[in-house]
Amino acid sequence: MPEIYSAIAQAGTSIVFVNTRAQAELVFQLLWDHNTQNLPIAVYHGSLSKEQRRRTEAMMAAGKLRCVVATSALELGIDWGDVDLVIQLGAPKGVSRLLQRIGRSNHRFNEPSKALLVPSNRFEAMECRAAIEAIDKGKLDGDALLPGSYDVVVQFIINCACSAPVNADRLYREIITAPPYASLPRAVFDQLFEFAIDGGYVLRRYERYQRLIQNDEGDYIPASRLISQRHRQNIGTIVEATHLRVKRMNPKRGGKILGTIEEHFAQQLTPGDTFFFGGETLAFIRVHDMTLEARPAPAKEPKIPSYVGGQMPLSTFLANGVRHMFNREESWHQLPHEVQEWLSLQKQFSTIPPVDGLLVESFPRHKLHQCLFYTFEGRKANQTLGMLITRRMERLALKPLSFLVTDYGLAVTSVQAVDAEHISALLSPDLLGGELEEWIAESPMLKRSFRRIATVAGLIEQRYAGSHKTVKQVTFSTDLIYDVLRKHEPNHILLHLCRQDAERELLDIKRLSDMLNRFEDKVLFHSLTRPSPLSVPVISDVRNEAVPGSGIEALLELGTAQEQADQMMEDVRNAVA
């Protein structure tokens, strides 16, 4: 952090980009702790109030700020020509995203943009280098066009009906003109249309789900004016955890709204707890009428607000670039000295992950055993793989205890060691069969997906006549409906949709399936006596979007992890000497 502050102090105006809102709050506080020159520094992310964001934008445009710590909320739509430097803190996760952020610097046609990339470990250093190479070659990543979500179709049907009478045939022809829905099967559309009318076989018995009726011409219109009013109040496709307004209380002037915070974080607070928000430390007082009331307070083990959806996925394009860089030894000289040494030690002590294969390492640690899978497939896919592998390890009597994931790999800790004969069973493509079905059946993820889909499709209302339901109320309602449909109408269209949503949004099943099929019979297994250099950034990774405990505690944990990582690297140096 001192080096970052020094770069900010030497530049005229800077933007420090981070990948999550929680990181923005923490980095702002760390910079402020190093702010010996009292530079005007601000924080900017989507959960701050509109007024505070506009005030920061105005101060930046007027040249009154030297630095803004920001998330992707500042990537688009705002052009400041006098930003001298962009600092990307942490891995970029995607080439296009990095290029967009760098473009905030010197936003003038006749001047090059200037940026510093600050990786937090050796893997991220290689990711930054791979992104720079891709930019030099003019290669950008981008997600392939995905099919549209079907819950949006239901909302669109009712939107149209609230505007004018609708006919199923005409509406279907209109919907399939949109590229994401060009392949929407008519049979599926008919199910969605039937659901929009009355909820389906089970739910049509309840009057509140009778949303559309036929008029004299055979077209469909809202069943009542009340249906139209309720629907208009709940239009939208972004379903997040319920937000509470954050109000800084003032005994003399009542208080000021600073922004919003998610309800799940507020539920962790007790009166007197302190937390970072909007660049200041606040003490929690109470939650009243969907408002979190707090007062200014000195920093006393402040917590960092966490946010749903705070993970940025590593793009497949950039992951492939990193994998190829591992295998281009002739280009290692372009990397920092620490990374060059890391790769050389890895080559001597174990091996380099192959481009067309999967490296797996097993070694003893702290009287237990750890097994590392270097997948390069991103956190979501690795999270799913970890859940499935540990279930299968349990069946193989390997006694798994825990696992942790990064974008680059998965580390599983177990009582018994993983040997070469276990690998084919642990990484078989049929892992996505029985284990996946059992895990999904036991986990609450389908209910979480159902809550989102039911909300977008209009089955559940979050707002009505100025009131707003809490997450607890919405969850109770959707869980009840989910259980009823599972029992009495298991083929209901919404149940199919929530399964598809979970596989795509929560589990990254397709990416994981492609990996298992691609690397079948191409696994390179190494049994080692101690952690390899490649494993160190994975098993010492303590960063999390939801920082546990206090901010000070998290920093101490990070320092301890760094000391352990340094010691593990020194052990390897001695082993290969």
Q: What is the 3-state secondary structure (H, E, C) of 511-532?
A: HHHHHHHHCCCCEEEEECCCCC
Inside any domain, residue 142: no
Please tell me what DSSP assigns to residue 180.
G
Is 321 found in the same domain as 291? no
CATH number, domain at 94?
Answer: 3.40.50.300
The first and second tokens of residue 444, run together, are: 């609450």
408 in Cβ contact with 376 (< 8 Å): yes
Q: Which residue carries 């709204």 as its tokens?
A: 257
The pTM of this model reads 0.70
Rounded CA-CA distance 489/483 in Å is 10
Residues sharing a CB contact under 8 Å with residue 300, sequence separation 6 or more, in sequence order = 274, 281, 283
Rounded CA-CA distance 429/287 in Å is 48
Is 329 found in the same domain as 269? no
Inside any domain, residue 127: no
The HSE-up count of residue 516 (CA atoms within 13 Å, CB side) is 23
Is 410 found in the same domain as 333? yes
Is 263 found in the same domain as 322? no
For residue 34, the one-letter residue type is H
CA angle 30, 255, 307 (to 5 degrees): 45
Inside any domain, residue 126: no
Q: Euclidean distance between the first and final Cα of the chain, in Å?
A: 33
Is 89 found in the same domain as 52? yes
Measuring CA to CA, which residue among 173, 175, 167 is closest to residue 219?
167
Give φ, ψ of 149 to 5 degrees. Answer: -75, 135
Is 393 found in the same domain as 278? no
Is 270 found in the same domain as 339? no
* Containing structural domain, residue 255: 244-296
Inside any domain, residue 185: no
The first and second tokens of residue 573, run together, are: 């140096």
The first and second tokens of residue 546, run together, are: 């939801």
The first and second tokens of residue 452, run together, are: 């989102």
70 in Cβ contact with 16 (< 8 Å): yes
Inside any domain, residue 137: no
Q: What is the pLDDT of residue 121?
A: 84
What is the distance of C-alpha 7 from the center of its chain?
29
293-319 residue pLDDT tens: 888 887 655 655 544 444 556 777 788
The HSE-up count of residue 361 (CA atoms within 13 Å, CB side) is 26
Dihedral of CA atoms 524, 527, 531, 537 in degrees, nearest 10, equals 20
Number of compact structural domains in the chain: 3
Rounded CA-CA distance 198/43 in Å is 47
2-51 residue pLDDT tens: 888 888 888 888 888 888 777 888 888 888 888 888 888 888 887 777 78
Q: Which residue carries 């509140």 as its tokens?
A: 208
Is 420 found in the same domain as 281? no
Dihedral of CA atoms 488, 492, 496, 497 in degrees, nearest 10, equals -120
Q: What is the pLDDT of residue 470?
A: 52
Rg (CA), the chain: 26
Inside any domain, residue 36: yes
What beta strand segments (E) does 406-519 contain? 410-414, 463-464, 467-468
- pLDDT, one tens digit for every residue, the chain (577 residues): 888 888 888 888 888 888 877 788 888 888 888 888 888 888 888 777 778 888 888 888 888 888 889 888 877 656 666 788 888 888 878 888 888 888 777 766 677 878 889 888 888 888 888 888 888 888 877 666 778 889 899 999 999 999 999 999 999 999 999 999 999 999 999 999 999 998 888 888 888 888 999 998 889 999 888 888 888 888 877 665 566 778 888 777 678 888 777 766 676 677 877 777 766 778 888 877 678 888 888 765 565 554 444 455 677 778 888 888 999 999 898 888 999 999 999 999 999 999 889 999 999 988 889 999 999 888 888 888 888 888 888 888 988 888 888 888 889 888 999 998 898 888 888 877 777 777 776 666 777 778 888 888 887 776 655 555 554 555 557 778 888 888 888 888 888 888 887 777 666 778 888 888 888 888 999 999 999 999 988 887 644 333 233 333 433 444 455 566 667 667 667 666 6
Is 371 found in the same domain as 291? no
The first and second tokens of residue 477, run together, are: 């309602």
What is the distance of C-alpha 55 from the center of its chain?
28
For residue 60, the one-letter residue type is M
Is 409 found in the same domain as 263? no
Residues sharing a CB contact under 8 Å with residue 302, sequence separation 6 or more, in sequence order = 29, 274, 275, 276, 281, 550, 551
The secondary structure element, H or E, covering residue 505 is none
Inside any domain, residue 416: yes
Q: What is the pLDDT of residue 156?
A: 94
Is 366 found in the same domain as 270? no
Q: String of b and e for 314-347 (b: at least 16 CB within 10 Å)?
A: bbbbbbebbbebbeeeeebeebeeebebbbebbb
Inside any domain, residue 559: yes
CA angle 486, 491, 493 (to 5 degrees): 100
The first and second tokens of residue 256, run together, are: 């000021």
Is 363 found in the same domain as 274? no
> Where do runs of H (alpha helix) occur along 256-374?
263-266, 316-326, 337-349
